[in-house]
Amino acid sequence: MRGSVVGDGMAMGEAVTGKGRELMSHIAEIIAVGTELLLGNIANTNAQELSQTLSALGINVYWHTVVGDNAGRLREAVERARRRADILITTGGLGPTYDDLTKQTVCRAFGRELVLRPAIAEQIRARYERNLRAPMPENNLRQAEFPADCIVFDNPVGTAPGCAFEEQGVHVLMLPGPPFEMRAMLEGGAVPYLRRLSGDVIVSRDIMTFGMGESRVEELLRDKMERMTNPTLATYAKPSEVRLRATAKAGSVEAAEAMLDPVVSDVRAALGDIVYGVDVKGLEYACVSALRGRGLTLATAESCTGGQIAARLTAIPGVSAAYRGGVVSYWTEMKAAVLGVPSEILDAHGAVSEPTARAMARGVCELTGAPVGVSVTGVAGPDRDERGVAVGTVYVGLATPEGTFCRALDLGQRRRDILQNLAGNHAFDLLRRWLSGLPLSL
């Protein structure tokens, strides 16, 4: 993947300079309307999708607001938004019921009259009869009322059309709340409207790293990051790894990508082999790509991670070309009975030990016929194991045609799910280093 045309618009500032010209940015606020959002009954996925789309259009999103189905509070939110943004996008509240108040409230805030459009009413009526085999309820006529002199957005998958208008330098777009309806209208109506407002695009590239904390990564790159204006570079801590996002704004995707190439090269040079990929979804994706490239297959043997490594692998489409299967051997007896870990190793060293991790990796290779095997055994807590091994002690084994290897880890007293995720990432990192011919130690 060359680069993603999404980004954190606010990181670019209100105006940046690039290619010898000033690039003025629009500022947007997204207002999601719905009491169910405030109650936590549903997630506000519309705001995420809108932000990504707006950033790709070169429009900065500075605020997300969520307000319930209350005309007074919605009016306050709209009044505040129009004072600080020149693009205001609402989602939700376009239905036919008494609490669908978005159009009425927005029109009052901007001094616009609501006008019934008979042609739209007939379209809604026909959709009811055609798709629902039922007459249109009369309250659905509210969905055919629009601000005077607005542009109407068709809703190809629902009964609530949207609309857009400009008033006193503020562009207002009203979109439906159901995500599939919002997405269809965004692509078919809102994006063409917004594209006319911004001639710039924002392109981001994600530089993925594992093996160094966010503070240390930022320390190594701070001077460079502080000097940058366009492109920009920022760190984002993910569970057990660090992502660096390089973002450029330019008049075209090609120009933005050309600006990002030297940034990516500089980061690779500064951080070395902790960089495992650019625009890669995760360590497991990098490993599967490398396995395919070398024509190898993998098997997994897990204890403390409880099958999470296998789950991450099997979530990748087409992974069957590189992954044969795995074993979750949680009990010590299962390590011996299924994976063939010798009883003398278990008796002498215990289930959480380097010899056991090596034997588990070899055993799953023999069981599945895969040339490469990865194993994880450890103590995820909250208590020490029966031999008194401390929480956070983890051993990652790797069996290959060249021999077996092990990474011994002291991950500390962390939350159980964090320990499991971190142990899985270490397993993938050990594997990708061997596949790439890198040093196996961090």
pLDDT, tens digit, 9 for 90 and up, residues 363-378: 999 999 999 999 999 9
- Based on the domain organization, do 333 and 218 belong to the same domain? no
The single residue listed with the structure tokens 């397993």 is 427
pLDDT for the residue numbered 294: 97
Contact of 144 with 116, CB cutoff 8 Å: yes
Q: What is the mean pLDDT of the segment spanning 4-10?
A: 36
| 92, part of any domain | yes
| 219, part of any domain | yes
Beta bridge partners of 209: 242, 275
pLDDT for the residue numbered 376: 98
Q: The domain spanning residue 142 has which CATH number?
A: 3.40.980.10
| Structural domain count, the chain | 3
| Structure token digits, residue 124 | 């809604």
pLDDT > 70? residue 10: no
| Entry pTM | 0.75
Element holding 218 (H helix, E strand): helix 214-227
Q: The domain spanning residue 252 has which CATH number?
A: 3.30.70.2860
* Strand duo 170-175 + 87-91: pairing: parallel
| 88, part of any domain | yes
3-state secondary structure of 390: coil
Reply yes or no: is the peptide bond before residue 317 cis, omega within 30 of 0: no
- Based on the domain organization, do 313 and 256 belong to the same domain? no
- Based on the domain organization, do 270 and 340 belong to the same domain? no
| Structure token digits, residue 44 | 């506000």
The residues, any chain, with a CB within 8 Å of residue 437's CB and separated by 6 or more, are none
pLDDT > 80? residue 5: no
Beta bridge partners of 301: 327, 375
| 211, part of any domain | yes
Q: Please, where are the H alpha helices in 228-342?
A: 253-271, 283-294, 308-314, 332-337
Q: What is the DSSP letter of 306?
A: T
> Which pLDDT tens digit goes with each residue over 46-87?
999 999 899 888 888 999 999 999 999 999 999 999 999 999
Least confident of 39-43, 164-168, 194-198, 221-225: 194-198
